[in-house]
């Protein structure tokens, strides 16, 4: 085996496309906690979910927020796009700024949820894929007004 071949890491063959929402309200950001039995269970994340075949990322996010939290939002601009490789799969994450429209969140498809302030971002443990987004959120005070 050549040295070059020995350094190659196998890449996961499964790509999961995910739409996630950055839902701000009164200076707070909505986050959800993954169920214990789910991949990366117990970690906190931004609400959303897997895109279905033929579905736009925006439509996916609108649907997922209704299913997961029973809230309605206006999906606005794409804020960040991240691809991350886990050992078992790769994820393509599309994070959209969302405007909360109606209904208070209920933990229907997640373990819990919280509305947090900017200085609380580091009080919660998020998946490794969210690291760049968390840094950007921490450096964007205009979003938290």
**How many CB atoms lie under 10 A from the CB of residue 54?**
6
Phi, psi at residue 10, to the nearest 5°? -65, 135
Do 113 and 69 form a contact (C-beta atoms < 8 A)?
A: yes
Distance of CA 129 to the CA centre of its chain: 9
pLDDT for res 2: 46
pLDDT for res 41: 85
pLDDT for res 34: 95
CA geometry: angle 114, 116, 117, nearest 5 deg: 175
Strand pairing category for 112-116 and 48-50: unpaired
Beta strands per DSSP E along 27-119: 28-33, 44-45, 48-50, 72-85, 90-102, 112-116
Which CATH architecture group holds 14-133? Alpha-Beta Complex (3.90)
pLDDT for res 13: 63
Average pLDDT per 10 consecutive residues for the chain, totaling 145 residues: 49 83 97 91 95 97 97 97 92 96 96 97 95 96 94
- Give the C-alpha separation, 52 to 120, whole Å: 32
Strand pairing category for 15-25 and 48-50: antiparallel
Nearest CA-CA partner of 45 in 58, 29, 57: 29
- Which pTM value belongs to this model? 0.88
pLDDT for res 8: 55
Domain coordinates of the chain in residue numbers?
14-133
- Give the C-alpha separation, 94 to 62, whole Å: 13
């Amino acid at each position: 085996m050549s040295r070059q071949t020995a350094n190659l890491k196998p890449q996961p063959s499964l790509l999961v496309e995910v739409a996630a929402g950055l839902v701000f309200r009164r200076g707070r950001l909505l986050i959800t906690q993954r169920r214990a039995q789910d991949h990366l269970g117990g970690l906190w994340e931004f609400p959303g979910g897997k895109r279905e075949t033929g579905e736009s990322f925006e439509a996916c996010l609108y649907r997922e927020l209704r299913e997961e939290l029973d809230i309605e939002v206006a999906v606005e601009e794409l804020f960040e796009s991240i691809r991350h490789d886990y050992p078992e799969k790769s994820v393509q994450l599309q994070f959209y700024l969302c405007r909360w429209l109606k209904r208070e969140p209920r933990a229907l498809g997640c373990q819990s949820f919280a509305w947090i302030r900017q200085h609380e971002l580091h009080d919660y443990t998020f998946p490794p894929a969210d690291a760049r987004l968390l840094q950007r959120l921490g450096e964007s005070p205009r979003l938290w007004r």
